[in-house]
Structure 1
Amino acid sequence: MAATDTFSSNSSTSSDSSNTNRHKGGVNGKVVIADSVVATIAGIATREVEGVYAMGGGTTRAMGAVRDRVARSADHTRGVSVEVGEKQAAIDLDIVVLYGTEIADAAAGIRSHVASTVERMTGLEVVEVNVNVRDVHVPGEETDEEEEVRVR
Structure 2
Amino acid sequence: MTESAGARHGGAPGARGRTVIADVVVQKIAGMAARDVRGVHALGSGFARSMGSVRERVPGAGGGGRATRGVGVEVGEKQAAIDLEIVVDYGVSITDVAGEVRENVIAAVERMAGRDVVEVNIMVSDVKLPDEEDEGEERQRIR
The answer to whether the superposition gives a TM-score over 0.5 is: yes
> Counterpart of 1:113 in structure 2: which amino acid?
N
Shift of 1:142: 2.3
Question: How far did residue 66 of structure 1 move?
Answer: 1.8
* Structure of higher CA gyration radius: 2
Structure 2 residue 39 is the aligned partner of structure 1 residue 46: no
The answer for the alignment partner of 1:61 in structure 2 is: 49
Q: What is the 5 A alignment of 1:1-152?
A: 19=12, 22-23=13-14, 28-70=16-58, 75-142=66-133, 146=135, 149-150=137-138
Aligned pairs, how many? 127
Shift, 1:149, TM fit = 4.6
Letter aligned with residue 44 of structure 1: M
Residue 28 (structure 1) shift = 0.6
What is the alpha-carbon distance in structure 1 between the residues aligned to residue 121 and residue 31 of structure 2? 13
Relative to 1, partners in 2 of residues 1:87 and 1:56: Cα closer, same or farther, differing over 3 Å? same
Query: What's the offset of the Cα at 1:141?
Result: 1.8
Show CA shifts across 1:90-134 (max 9, x none): 000000000011000000000000000000001100000011000
SS in 2 for 1:54: strand
Give the deviation of 1:18 after TM superposition.
Answer: 6.9
| TM score, norm. by length of structure 1 | 0.76
Percent pairwise identity: 54
Contact map agreement 1:81 1:91 (CA 8 A) in 2? yes
Which letter maps to 2:45? Answer: G
- Change over 3 Å in CA distance of 1:73–1:150 after alignment to 2: farther
Gaps of 5+ in 2: 1-9
Task: Show structure 1 runs of 4+ deviating over 6 A.
Answer: none
**Runs of 5+ consecutive residues of structure 1 not aligned to the other structure:** 1-16
CA distance in 1, matches of 2:114, 2:99: 21
Which residue identity does 1:37 align to in structure 2?
V
Question: Is contact 1:66-1:149 (8 Å) kept?
Answer: no
Letter in 1 for 2:95: A
Provide the aligned C-alpha RMSD in A: 2.1
